[in-house]
Amino acid sequence: MMRLISLLCLLVLPIRSGWQSGGLQVAIGELQGVDVSHYQHVIAWDTVVARQSVEFAFVKATEGGDFIDTLFCRNWESLERLGIRRGAYHFFRAYGCGYDQALHFLQTVDMRPGDLAPVLDVETSEGMSKAVIQEEVGIWLRTVEQSLGIKPILYTNQNFYEKYLSGAFDQNPLWIARYSNERPLLSTGKRWDFWQYSNAGCVDGISQKVDLNIFPGTPSMLERLCWYPPAVGAQEASLAIP
């Protein structure tokens, strides 16, 4: 009897069998993705791709002025090999210099055409004032934008955004963390571009719980948030670190 029940379950489960999102209803046409770091340990990306439809993935690259995620290169290269739309993020230390942290990220991440725009992860104040946080975050965002020619994506949780960042960086794409079945609504009315709706996802090929995300658009819309080098003649100058 148990074997019969198991067989019936396999027949009715969707193709995305390993993707457990806590019952969230994802609208037709929306894209789903994950974000990972060394906390997820070594990931079997071939299994992830074979058993789930992962349209994009963000990978931790750097933190502060000198830390490089121990699994960044492995994850970054695997995503390119498998053709998953990838993006790299930097974990911001509020007590650090925004310019130095931007240089650290730029020197670490080898961007390729079609990669998602760089991400700045800002979620801890570490005793710094709102004014200092906004100043150093602004320096990081401008430095990376001037080097690569694309506006970086700003990641934060909804509470931190409202307290420290609201209204200050409205020109940058926004990635909001809010662990709920209810979509984020920001006091400024700004629309988010990515929503991290869970930090406890279960995905085949990833042994640890993982963050789950939604992009509320089509692949062609996601393409607008991707980096491409400038014209061949200006490429080296535009990509040079200031």
The residues annotated as belonging to the active site are 123
DSSP character string of the chain: -HHHHHHHHHHHS-S-TT-B-TT--PPTT-EEEEEE-GGG-S--HHHHHHHS---EEEEEEEETTTEE-TTHHHHHHHHHHHT-EEEEEEE--TTS-HHHHHHHHHHH----TTPBPPEEE----TT--HHHHHHHHHHHHHHHHHHHSSPPEEEEEHHHIIIIITTT-TTS-EEEE--SSSPP--TT-PPPSEEEEEEEEB-TT--S-EEEEEE-S-HHHHHTTB-----GGGHHHHHS--
The half-sphere exposure of 233 on its side-chain side, counting CA atoms within 13 A, is 0
Q: Please list, in sequence order, all residues whose beta carbon lies within 8 angstroms of the beta carbon of residue 147, skipping any fewer than 6 positions away.
A: 102, 106, 238, 239, 240, 241, 242
C-alpha 10/C-alpha 200 separation (Å) is 23
C-alpha 99/C-alpha 218 separation (Å) is 34
